[in-house]
Amino acid sequence: MFEDQPVRGELDGHVENMLDLLNDYDISLSEGTPEDSRNQLSVMTNLSTAEPEDVATVEDVEIPGPEDGQDPIPGRVYAPAGDGHPTVTYFHGGGFVAGDIETHDPLCRMLANRAEAVVVSVEYRKAPEAPWPKPIKDAYAGAQWAQRNADEWGADTGTHVVAGDSAGGNLAAVVSLMAAERGMPDIDRQVLLYPATTYMDPMLSRAENGEGFFLTAQDMLWFVTHYIEDEIDAHHPWAFPLNARRDRLAETPPAFVLTCGYDPLRDEGHAYAEELAEAGVDVEYSNHESMIHGFLNMEAIVDHTYDGVEEVAEQIRKA
């Protein structure tokens, strides 16, 4: 179904401006401690995102954790006016180490408004303090909570989308696998935005885009060494979903997979879309040839961000 390998187009001029800005501020996600990485991503977010849009209701919530004695999982609900909206459980990116509700607040607001959806943003635990499988346990608990409770904010919990970007795209895919195996929660669509789907497989995009386009090959290695404590775990399908057997993939919901031409994760997103399609899953795939990883969080600099967000919102509405 997706025989053509995705390619790079001409790098978008606004993206070039974004890269120049990141160089001016010496943004690096992997040259210090995990806390340094988190601070760097927050600085980048402040540089690249516009004034957050107003949403009818924005409310912080506490989601019960899946483990005894665990602190509640922070969440944030974004709800348009009215009711009957689809439910979206959203998982932020950040390499399983960085990122939080705040870094992805502008994006979740845009999705809530454009998709007319109740978006539940889940701040799962992060590595290295909470390595695999703790983040996926939190993500799964967040999806269950959203389906049970989002009707309090006007959601139709009978229509449920899981979505996420980068590491969050990984979690959305894994939660879809877990839900198919366990029979709950019901998920109608998985929306995977430049997802991390495999461990260390050599791919053209990792070599082609591994330096100079924001997310680097060094960043990816640094993140995964914090997330995965035992290398054998990296081959579990709930760590990286491209490990899953096709009969397991066949049970997952329809999918939308988005990649970027200048992203080291491009080819593994494409490969996962292919595997889903080969397993018989209804898949739509979109490669933004002129974009870099994370462009959906760059609306203050990159005009094309709004086109991407609208495309994602349309995919949510399809559920």
Nearest to 255, CA basis, from 286, 281, 287 = 281
Q: Does residue 166 have an active-site annotation?
A: yes
**CA count, 13 A, side-chain hemisphere, 140:** 20
**CA count, 13 A, side-chain hemisphere, 67:** 14
Which one of the listed residues 30, 48, 166, 176 is annotated catalytic? 166
Determine contact, residues 92/100, Cβ cutoff 8 Å: yes
Task: List phi, psi (to 5°) of 74.
Answer: -65, 140
Four-residue CA torsion sign, 212, 258, 48, 44: negative
Which one of the listed residues 12, 105, 263, 267 is annotated catalytic? 263
Q: Does residue 288 have an active-site annotation?
A: no
Determine contact, residues 98/165, Cβ cutoff 8 Å: no
Nearest to 272, CA basis, from 293, 292, 252, 294 = 252
Q: Does residue 293 have an active-site annotation?
A: yes
Q: For residues 314 and 244, what is the distance between their CA atoms, to the nearest angstrom?
A: 28
Active site residues: 166, 263, 293
